[in-house]
A = this chain, B = another copy of it.
């Protein structure tokens, strides 16, 4: 059968894994029975454990679901240390359910799959050697990709039932009160990890910094933690920052950023008290800089900024141009440090950020979001997961979630090298065109035809040519030619859930 974004979904798969096909971005008003963990009662005096070996032996059994967070990004030392022990102890058939997988984890995941230690994975994304390995059929069961909001939803529903969460933190006391703001390897908000701390049956903290009891502020609390493991180092501070926090000098990126700013400023949403999410990356930082100037020039301030936070955003908070920063993760040290000193930078968990089955998430209140794309097609469907060669090399992140904003802008170059970004049909549908409003390229913009209000607001901006999405697709094709169709086998290697848990697309094994 085909779902509402015209993707063929194997009936057998839908049935076997009890999936509904994606229909709509509307969530509606269902009543949801949430789940809760099993608590192993203790006074808390026996939590400190000397070795990872011991805690793995005490907690992990064949067939369990284990989890990690990715707040350390490529500076993470915790994942590999724990997985090394788990593999060495011969544990089998685990489901790996981290908030995401970063490149520094790739070799270990591949080893764990080959050893039979890991037989199922759910993640926000994967890249590099692991994406390649999975795309070529390296894992028997399909990987399930979920957005950050959908992971929160799945945990709160019990679709992901975490047996043991291994959470690295830059500080903790002997009972497990911890935050992400103090220590050598600070990353700021613990947003994604707060879900694991609340819902996992067993919570293991790993830290290189045991603080006097009681340690506050406590983002993770002693009432959630079973074990505290002292390790030498939880992470490499130099590699925790995303790296892409440098302001771009690329004229193409600057042109796109300036056009994004034009679109925002001329939209009906640019008024006092508006809200926005920009994200990281050189172009996003450039947008923030343009937006800052426009806010000053128009005497407009924002009620909140959302999402993965960078220093340019916290600078706006400190300048008084933004009232609140709602912070589910920080992309650089400056943003992490600001959370420690500025009470208006509120740490939020992934559920509050974006769980659609909620009493209102932050993304539901968002006016403007700027998102990226590996591909966008003439139905405005966006792919941030697979490359033009069909290989997995991305992450959903908050893409589907934040696209619920009132004004969703996709910022992307028309082509990258010899590869078109605007295509007739994306390789993998991650975010449905229904929730995308404007595409901004270096050549001009395209507006979703459903948004007549935006068409009239944005159609006569000086220096901002408006095209139909089909015209932009043709322009791209004229530049790089028509690629050879990709060849896949019949085997499904990954499932893309929409944020409500329905199936929006699948990824098949690449044929070599």
Contact = CB atoms under 8 A, between A and B. Distances in A.
Interface of A: 27-45, 47, 156, 175-176, 212-214, 216-218, 221-226, 273, 303-304, 323-324, 326, 343-344, 346, 351-352, 355-362, 364-365
Given A212-B303, A326-B214, A39 B226 contact: no
Contacts of A222: 352, 359-360
A359 B324 contact: no
A259 to B, nearest CB: 29
B39 A304 contact: no
A-B pairs, top 10 by smallest CB distance, nearest first, are A44-B360, A34-B36, A36-B36, A43-B364, A216-B346, A32-B39, A222-B360, A223-B352, A175-B360, A33-B38
A57 B482 CA distance: 62
Contacts of A326: 214
B40 A31 contact: yes
Mostly, the A contact residues are loop
B38 A35 contact: no
Nearest to A199: B36
A41 B358 contact: yes
A358 B303 CA distance: 38
Given A44-B364, A221-B352, A351-B223, A39 B214 contact: no
Nearest to A198: B198
A410 to B, nearest CB: 22
A152 to B, nearest CB: 10
Contact of A359 (B34, B156, B212, B223): B223
Contacts of A351: 223
B360 A42 contact: yes
A212 B355 CA distance: 22
Contacts of A224: 359
